[in-house]
Amino acid sequence: MPATPSFYLAPESWTAPYILSGKEARHLSRVLRLGRGASVRLFDGRGRQGIFRVDSADRGKVVLRPERMESLAPPAVRCTLAAGFSKALRRGWFLEKAVELEASALWFWQGEYSQASLPEQEKETWTAALIAGAKQCENPWLPELSMLRGGVDALVRRLPDMDRAFLLYEGDTGGRLLSPQDLAGPGDLLLIVGPEGGFSPGEVQRLTAGGALAVSLGPRVLRWETAAVLTLGLAWWARQRP
């Protein structure tokens, strides 16, 4: 657990005077019972972070004074996970793990075999789960959340923007397994996971024709969130190697 409590301040509010409000202010003042002089970490989810002192705190407003701040350069590897939308009950758990494993972006897309429909807009609970994960692991970056309308075609249109794209396929890949070597090196990396019902044959054809390489994670049929976290973990491990 981080030694210094972390709090999120949205990028548009990252300016003096630095003020926390709403849930973040209540958590600082009422849950943790921090007061004037307490030291906290603040981050904006876009690479800015710093150590701040509490100048004043009540239930609805906390005023913070910066002691030191830094702005980090964007990661050399941008790892995007495109997940077929699912009704899985553990989506919050998955979102927290995606932050811990440093996903740069998360795209939800409507698969032919999805057993749930994309909502009209991102849910507040999704962002809350990302922020909770970032606080826990002290990641100054939050993944960019997007919902791709238009099924697999919307995903295919994004493929030319990627340096490498891998389709995590439960079918025949000719023995081709995803390896850390596939995920090493700088650039924009796209990892595509199907919904709980898997990919349709047409989706596989469209994605591979568009440039995605079909690879396997092994002989077991994995839940979508298991496949997603395993894939992000392999990418994270590849980035740690010299």
CATH number for the domain whose boundaries are 6-71: 2.40.240.20
Question: What's domain 77-240's architecture?
Answer: 3-Layer(aba) Sandwich (3.40)
What's the confidence (pLDDT) of residue 103? 97
The boundaries of every CATH 2.40.240.20 domain in the chain are 6-71
242 residues of the chain, pLDDT tens digit each: 457 999 999 999 999 999 999 999 999 998 999 999 999 999 999 999 999 999 999 868 999 999 999 999 998 889 999 999 988 668 889 999 999 999 999 999 999 999 889 887 778 899 999 999 999 999 999 999 999 999 999 999 999 999 999 999 999 999 999 998 899 888 999 999 999 889 999 999 999 999 999 999 999 888 888 999 999 999 999 988 76
The boundaries of every CATH 3.40.1280.10 domain in the chain are 77-240
- Asked whether 17 and 54 are in contact (CB, 8 A), the reply is no
What's the confidence (pLDDT) of residue 242? 63
- Asked whether 155 and 203 are in contact (CB, 8 A), the reply is no
What's the confidence (pLDDT) of residue 87? 80
The 3 state secondary structure assigned to the chain is CCCCCEEECCHHHCCCCEEEEHHHHHHHHHHCCCCCCCEEEEECCECEEEEEEEEEECCCEEEEEEEEEEECCCCCEEEEEEEECCCCCCHHHHHHHHHHCCCCEEEEECCCCCCCCCCCCCCHHHHHHHHHHHHHHCCCECCEEEEECCCHHHHHCCHHHCCEEEEECCCCCCCCECCHHHHCCCEEEEEEECCCCCCCHHHHHHHHHCCCEEEECCCCCCCHHHHHHHHHHHHHHHHHCC
What's the confidence (pLDDT) of residue 91? 86
- Asked whether 60 and 21 are in contact (CB, 8 A), the reply is yes
- Asked whether 195 and 114 are in contact (CB, 8 A), the reply is yes
